[in-house]
Amino acid sequence: MNAPLSRTLNFETPGRFSDWPLALKSILGFWIFYALTVVARALLGADAWTMLINKLVVIAIGILLTGLVYVVIASFTAGASIRKKVVVAGLASVAAAWGMAGAFLLIEDFMKEPKEVIRYQSREGFVIIEKGRTLTVERRAQEPLVVTFPNLGELDANKRLRFAADTAVVWLFFFMAWSAFYLATVAQAEALNARRRAVEAESEARAAQVRALRYQINPHFLFNTLNSLSSLVMSGRPDEAESMILKLSTFFRSGLSLDPSADVTLEEEIALQRLYLDIEKVRFPRRLKVEIDIPKDLENARVPALILQPLVENAIKYGVSGSRETVTLEIRAAEAGPGRFTIEVVNSAGTAAKKRRGEKPDGTGVGLGNVCQRLEARFGPAAKCEFGPTADGGYRVLMTLPLDRADG
């Protein structure tokens, strides 16, 4: 038997920093990628270790600043629109880029000077040797010219500002790239969560509707059965009344133990209807004839529990009860193309003969309405419910359902 559709929903409002694991993973991912490029570049030089140590300091500062960008975004954009998030992320990225530039100015004097020596020949024939901040120009028949570049702290304020601006522009694109990635990931997660909540809410609503419709059917069947039992007792047929009570208890034990929104196999549904029809045969031993034709390969098809009950009740009440002749009640199932099958309930006579073709007999509205509404609630547009009088004066209901077979 299929599990009930109903589920307990527990939607909680996410906290301001509830997505910190995602932010942390993305920050580390970005900076690890940057570190790998640094390692690749360092391995090309002669003093890779010094370069790596210097870059590790930069990476540590970058991770801290990117974390602060996340804190700003999470603090000021909780529940805000994507436009506001982009603006806040942009401003935070600008601030982080300037923070990185300022950090360069502060730590530049503490950086280890690389021991790597770079030599190249100029067009004028001089040999230029670069080592750290020292540049040596070897000239023919002349003393080498040695030039030492000043530290950033030795530059005037205007030059330091220009250096900081150039550095900030370079890092701005890095921080903005991370912000864009983070916001896109958050937006995707929110969209998926919203879709999941919508699906679960729709499922819950459909399950509630199915339960409500099912609860309308139970009293209907109970009243009819008790009326039948009362008629047997009053007409002096105690043996038949006792048999009916036993069958009625079996039917209720089997039928009411089902979950209102559960699915059963077609075989189980037909077994329940056989119990009900056995009860009715006690009332109409000569007027009710039952023919059931269910192909073997459709016995495990899933159907809503007791979906046939109102249709069989209507066939008895408005077909058998309203006729003095023998009425044949047929229940048939057949495949109807890929992934679909039909269930047909037909009675051969009844008050439908008095109605124009396409109308239903008086009093069948509640039962048929319940069936059609349950199918719509359970399957949506994938199911159809058609009904109307037949040419021979009977009545026919045809249901088309998606074919979903139970395991095993």
- When divided into structural domains, the chain yields a total of 2
Residue 19: pLDDT band (50, 70, 90) is: confident
Q: Are residues 342 and 395 in the same domain?
A: yes
- Which of 169, 197, 225 is the last residue in one of the domains? 197
Domain at 300, CATH number: 3.30.565.10
Q: Are residues 277 and 165 in the same domain?
A: no
pLDDT of 1 reads 35
115 pLDDT higher than 70: no
Residue 6: pLDDT band (50, 70, 90) is: very low
Residue 104 lies in a domain: yes
Q: Are residues 30 and 161 in the same domain?
A: yes
Q: Are residues 345 and 258 in the same domain?
A: yes
The pTM assigned to this predicted structure is 0.47
Contact 282, 316 (CB under 8 A): no
Residue 12: pLDDT band (50, 70, 90) is: very low
Residue 202 lies in a domain: no
- Which of 146, 176, 197 is the last residue in one of the domains? 197
Q: Are residues 366 and 263 in the same domain?
A: yes
Q: In angstroms, what is the C-alpha Rg of the chain? A: 41
Residue 89 lies in a domain: yes
Reported as a single tens digit per residue, the pLDDT across 197-237 is: 767 656 655 665 555 555 555 565 677 677 777 877 888 87
Q: What is the mean pLDDT of residues 57-80?
A: 89
* DSSP helix/strand/coil, 89: helix
d(CA 160, CA 216): 82
d(CA 306, CA 378): 13
Amino acid letter, 87: V
pLDDT of 38 reads 80
Q: Are residues 345 and 277 in the same domain?
A: yes
Residue 278 lies in a domain: yes
Q: Are residues 242 and 358 in the same domain?
A: yes
Q: Are residues 172 and 318 in the same domain?
A: no
Residues, the chain? 408
Residue 28: pLDDT band (50, 70, 90) is: very high
Residue 146 lies in a domain: no
Q: Are residues 190 and 274 in the same domain?
A: no
Contact 343, 311 (CB under 8 A): no
d(CA 31, CA 22): 14
pLDDT of 63 reads 93
250 pLDDT higher than 70: yes
Reported as a single tens digit per residue, the pLDDT across 275-294 is: 888 878 877 888 899 999 99
Q: Residue 253: in which H helix or E strand, if any?
A: helix 238-255
Tell me what percent of the chain is helix, strand and coil, each rounded to the nearest 5: 60, 15, 25
Nearest CA to 276 among 236, 196, 218? Answer: 218
107 or 339: whose pLDDT is higher? 339
65 pLDDT higher than 80: yes
Which tokens go with 329? 């009640």
pLDDT of 306 reads 80
pLDDT of 325 reads 85
What is the percent of the chain with per-residue pLDDT over 70, rounded to a whole number?
77
pLDDT of 17 reads 81
Residue 303 lies in a domain: yes
Q: Are residues 243 and 381 in the same domain?
A: yes
Q: Are residues 318 and 368 in the same domain?
A: yes
Reported as a single tens digit per residue, the pLDDT across 342-366 is: 999 998 865 444 444 444 444 445 6
Which tokens go with 26? 């993305």
Domain coverage including residue 80: 20-112+156-197
Q: Are residues 190 and 268 in the same domain?
A: no
Nearest CA to 290 among 320, 264, 263, 245? Answer: 320
Nearest CA to 266 among 96, 372, 401? Answer: 401
